[in-house]
Amino acid sequence: MGYIIAMAGKGGTGKTTLAALIIRLIKEKKLGSILAVDADPNSNLAEVLGVEPAGNIGEILDDICSNSDKVPAGMPKERFIQHQVQSAIQEEEGFDILTMGKPEGPGCYCYVNNVLRGVMIKLIKDYDYIIIDNEAGLEHLSRRTTRSADRLIVVSDASSVGLKSASRIIALAKDLKFEVKKSLLLVNRLNKNIDNQKIKETGLDYLGHLPADPQIEALSSAGSSIFKLDSNAQLFLALNLLGDKIWKRN
């Protein structure tokens, strides 16, 4: 079974950037094969990784549910869905990426989501590391991917609002019966002292904090790939120091 790192956090915390940086670090350390899963409906993980996004799972499910005749005669629908998911995986240098796309509308989604989850569980076994970039609500994670992870990393800023949001995310994970071996709080763009009591109140183990980095802001403004970030950048070095707590198997 692959080692699953699930990222979550409210919008604007830098969650997707950090997910991409973790993918870059695992790739550069040659720790194993990588599947990047963009499970945020506001899909931009591929862009941050410097990849032009192709089709996504939401479009595939829409097509299957709206056009039942798409399934070839004699082929079980489950096998067809599996084939379509496999075809949606983009093979890049050092990692593969799969984009989940938008939430579904009305239709036969209960069945296809159940099938999709089974396909994803099998797919995960083919990779050493799976990094899943999620929305704060964890909806895609619950319905379409997997209900377990080795690490759930909740990204927040140092504000009271951000830390309360982190608390709600871990509470939601428990409500969804999401099985996590270790849930970690990662505070991003820290530019002041942080209230340790508020960290404890989140119910998450404190992974550490990361600095604001002007190089990241410049890359983001230019729409450039995370792979163009200098390896001596403050954020890159700081995340690397926390790395063993994120991806080390134990």
Angle of helix 15-28 versus helix 234-247 axis, rounded to 10 = 70
Phi, psi of 247 (to 5 degrees): -115, 0
Mind listing the pLDDT tens digit for each residue in 197-228?
888 889 899 999 999 999 998 998 888 999 99
CA–CA distances in Å: residue 102 to residues 48, 56, 106, 137, 167: 18, 8, 13, 13, 25
Question: Do the bridges between strand 129-134 and strand 34-39 make them parallel or antiparallel, or are there none, so unpaired?
Answer: parallel
**Which overall architecture, per CATH, does domain 3-55+90-104+125-247 show?**
3-Layer(aba) Sandwich (3.40)
Mind listing the pLDDT tens digit for each residue in 78-95?
888 888 888 889 999 999
Residues of the chain predicted below pLDDT 70: 103-112, 136-145
**C-beta separation of 164 from 158 below 8 A:** no
